[in-house]
């Protein structure tokens, strides 16, 4: 009788220890009869995406809007220029580094860049000879 009790205690302890170590997340659905449960990953080490500076430009019938718009941005902050145009042109960003984008006739062409050196940055259209915006980068 004593051997049976000892065996029962050992089996009970082994069962409890095994139950404490098992994780229902890792059990396959076929064994439990239910779909596997998965935990959502922790997001504590992720940062919010940087805010973007957006400039909307319209070129129509030889006219540009905006002209000489004053903007502000931070160093390495994403800057997006969205252009709707009825003609070809070239968008030039006088920054460090410089950027040149080809504008084609069409709606909502997007051009993205970052400025690495603080200062005043002119964004101009070469063929129409217009400064669209001056961005003060700090």
Tens-digit pLDDT profile for residues 89-107: 999 999 988 999 999 999 9
Question: Which pLDDT does position 56 carry in this prediction?
Answer: 97
Of 93, 94, 81, the residue nearest 52 (C-alpha): 81
- By residue count, the chain amounts to 138
Which residues does 119 contact at the CB level (< 8 Å), separation at least 6? Answer: 95, 96, 136, 137
Which pLDDT band holds residue 32 (cuts at 50, 70, 90)?
very low
pTM score, whole prediction: 0.63
Q: How is residue 129 annotated by DSSP?
A: T
| Amino acid 9: pLDDT | 45
Q: What are phi and psi of 2, to 5 degrees?
A: -65, -40
Q: How far is CA 29 from CA 23, 26, 52, 109, 136, in A?
A: 13, 9, 44, 48, 58
Q: Is the peptide bond before 97 cis (omega within 30 degrees of 0)?
A: yes
Q: pLDDT tens-digit profile of 50-66?
A: 688 999 999 999 999 99
Poorest-confidence range of 27-41, 69-83, 114-128? Answer: 27-41
Domains and CATH numbers, the chain: 53-137 (2.60.40.420)
User: What is residue 29's predicted lDDT score, i.e. its pLDDT?
Assistant: 46
End-to-end, the C-alpha distance of the chain in Å comes to 84
Determine the pLDDT at residue 72. 96
pLDDT band at 2; cut points 50, 70, 90: low
Instruction: State the DSSP string of 9-61.
Output: HHHHHHHHHHHHH--TTTS-HHHHSSPPP-PPPP-TT--PPPP-EEEEEEEET
């Amino acid at each position: 009788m004593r051997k049976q009790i000892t065996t029962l205690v050992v089996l009970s302890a082994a069962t409890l220890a095994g139950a404490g170590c098992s994780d229902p997340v890792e059990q396959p659905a076929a064994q439990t009869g239910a779909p596997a449960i998965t935990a959502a990953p922790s997001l504590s080490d992720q940062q919010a995406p940087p805010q973007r500076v957006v400039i909307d430009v319209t070129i129509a019938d030889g006219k540009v809007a905006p002209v000489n718009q004053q903007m502000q941005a931070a160093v390495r902050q994403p800057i997006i220029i969205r252009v709707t145009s009825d003609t070809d042109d070239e968008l030039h960003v006088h920054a460090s580094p410089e950027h040149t984008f080809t504008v084609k006739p069409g709606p909502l062409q997007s051009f993205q860049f970052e400025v690495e050196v603080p200062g005043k940055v002119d964004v101009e259209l070469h063929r129409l000879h217009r400064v669209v915006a001056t961005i003060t980068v700090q």
